[in-house]
Amino acid sequence: MSGSASQTSAPLLSVSFEGLDAAKPVSDPALDRIAAYLTDRFGLTFADHAQVNLARVAAAAAKQFGFGSLANLALQIESPEAERAAVPWLIRELTVGETYFFRVSEQFAALREIVAPDVARNCVSTGQALVRAWSAGCASGEEAYSIGIALAETLPGFQISVLGTDINRSFLARAEKAEYSTWSLRGVSESDRERYFDWPTPASASLKPELRRLARFGYLNLNDACFPDLLTGTAGLDVIFCRNVFIYHDTQRVAQLAQQLSTCLRDGGYLFFGPSDPVPAQLPGMKPVACAASMVFQRTGAESERPKPPSKAVAKSRLIEKRAPLPARPPRRPEPTSVPAAPPAFRKADIAERALSLANRGDLSGAQDLAEEWLAKDATDAPACHLLALIHKEKRNPRLAMRYVRRAVYLDPNFALAHYEMAELLAAENRRAQALGCFENALALLERLDADAVLAGSTEIRAGWLTRVIRTRMKSLDETSELEELAP
């Protein structure tokens, strides 16, 4: 890692943080190093008042996970040992998980009344029946499920797919269980509580199975260059909610994130921020939506429709046209008869690029047609199989996704992304042992690559990022297995 956290080499001394004054900034080299790592790795920033909380949490982490002192934790903060346990614990304690179903009712009214009908019209115009949404920073899942319920109720007959992501693994585990206290339901009417939930006890609610299937969850760090990308399910989306995430980032990073999120939308897609999020006044290619709710924007496509400057060849030809005409040349002698030129050869790279472009714009059906054409011309092409696997996964067709990803691995055993995708599909089927084996295969392949190497089959995914994601997923699967073994 190249951030400031890895550039500190001076000896670190740690002070005691007992009885800290929350109004005064904390100054300690070890704490500064931990803060720099968290900023570099996750984009989290710590103003003076937040440093006091960071000091307490970091000191507790050093003690709980056997580092002995804050200085030792700071020195080892980038080690596999720290990133396996202490860092996730720090993230859990430093990020706020306060949320509930249908939070900010005005925005969900806009989703039902304005956004959903327009998204449906866009889908019909492109011959698709799949509506895709992303809850970025989903916490324990209430927001993602709320988006799914609102879209499913407003758009009967459409397939709804909501992706929920977060950097807090404990939140994601709770989201997948879909079990909530009545406090999370304080924005849900009594009648809807009965429609949406089963009630094992009067104080605990379990989301009905058909509603749980509307959403899926996964780890994603918004500070990583892993979106927009079809591999992460973050390209060509109809709706994105990213609310109360920007409070952890500085102004410059907020502007970058807001713009990057907008590129994850298909033209005409919608982006929801939190009402108090410090979003820039101007977002290129986006326009505010006129509705009772604030902080709702629509992608206009203006960026992609903006005319490009003329190429050098075009500019040169225009200059030549303004000159005086040249004298006519004498007629050439007829050339000897030659064999007609052969038709242009099949350019696999062109079809691949067009297919990826369509998928990233949300036209999964068009991308599927091109990928199938690509595979028909070259039945041994592993990237074509991998792309079809990703498309069918997004379309919620895991059987076909598995068929194509198995074929990709068979055709190219060194295809790291295909091994990773097979592991995720197996994990979704609760086949944990097989999933762990595929994750291990992917890790073995990634270890041969530089951390910054862009992986074959993607446009942005790098080896280092996928390595971290796989380790996180393997730990999550191991913990789930342990809990099931301990269950009565």
Strand order in the sheet with 197-201: 179-181, 204-207, 197-201
- Taken in order 358, 362, 366, 372, is the CA torsion positive or negative? positive
Q: Supply the pLDDT for residue 327.
A: 41
- 31-49: average pLDDT: 88
Stretch among 89-98, 200-209, 252-261, 409-418 having the lowest mean pLDDT:
89-98
Q: Supply the pLDDT for residue 348.
A: 73
Tens digits of residue pLDDT in 139-197 = 999 999 999 999 999 999 999 999 999 998 889 999 999 999 999 999 999 999 999 99
Q: Supply the pLDDT for residue 12.
A: 37
- 282-305: average pLDDT: 82
Distances, alpha carbon 311 to alpha carbons 308, 316, 318, 322, in Å: 9, 9, 11, 17
pLDDT band at 128, cuts 50/70/90?
confident
- 49-63: average pLDDT: 89
Q: Supply the pLDDT for residue 27.
A: 64
pLDDT band at 26, cuts 50/70/90?
low
Q: Distance between CA atoms of 298 and 285, rounded to whole angstroms? A: 8
Give the list of residues 6+ apart from residue 268 with CB closer than 8 angstroms, or none: 118, 119, 122, 298, 299, 300, 301
Q: Please name which of 347, 367, 350, 351 lies closest in space to residue 359, comparing C-alpha atoms.
A: 367
Percentage of the chain lying above the pLDDT 90 cut: 57
Q: Is 48 exposed, middle or buried (0-12, 13-18, 19+ CB in 10 A)?
A: exposed
Q: Supply the pLDDT for residue 15.
A: 40
CA dihedral 88, 90, 93, 98 (to 10 degrees): -50
pLDDT band at 343, cuts 50/70/90?
very low
pLDDT at 4 over 90: no
> How many other CB atoms are found less than 10 A from the CB of residue 102?
22
pLDDT band at 359, cuts 50/70/90?
confident
Tens digits of residue pLDDT in 253-266 = 899 999 999 999 99
Q: Supply the pLDDT for residue 83.
A: 86
pLDDT at 18 over 70: no
Every domain of the chain with CATH number 3.40.50.150 lies at 105-305
- 407-435: average pLDDT: 95
> How many other CB atoms are found less than 10 A from the CB of residue 398?
16
Q: Supply the pLDDT for residue 158.
A: 95
- 19-23: average pLDDT: 44
The torsion region of residue 249 among left (phi > 0), alpha (psi -120 to 50) and beta comes to beta
Give the list of residues 6+ apart from residue 322 with CB closer than 8 angstroms, or none: none
Higher per-residue confidence, 272 vs 475? 272
Q: Is 203 exposed, middle or buried (0-12, 13-18, 19+ CB in 10 A)?
A: exposed
pLDDT at 309 over 50: no
Q: Is 234 exposed, middle or buried (0-12, 13-18, 19+ CB in 10 A)?
A: buried
CATH of domain 348-486: 1.25.40.10
* Average pLDDT score, the chain: 83
Stretch among 115-129, 280-294, 432-446 having the lowest mean pLDDT:
280-294
- 4-12: average pLDDT: 35
Fold (topology level) of 105-305:
Rossmann fold (3.40.50)
Are 449 and 443 in contact by the 8 Å Cβ rule? The answer is no
pLDDT at 319 over 50: no
Q: Please name which of 419, 399, 394 lies closest in space to residue 409, comparing C-alpha atoms.
A: 419
Q: Supply the pLDDT for residue 45.
A: 85
Q: Please name which of 253, 248, 288, 257 lies closest in space to residue 270, comparing C-alpha atoms.
A: 288
Six-digit token string for 130: 């799949």
Q: Supply the pLDDT for residue 346.
A: 55
- 59-65: average pLDDT: 94
Q: Supply the pLDDT for residue 356.
A: 85
Q: Supply the pLDDT for residue 80.
A: 85
pLDDT at 317 over 60: no
Tens digits of residue pLDDT in 66-83 = 999 999 999 999 998 898
Every domain of the chain with CATH number 1.25.40.10 lies at 348-486
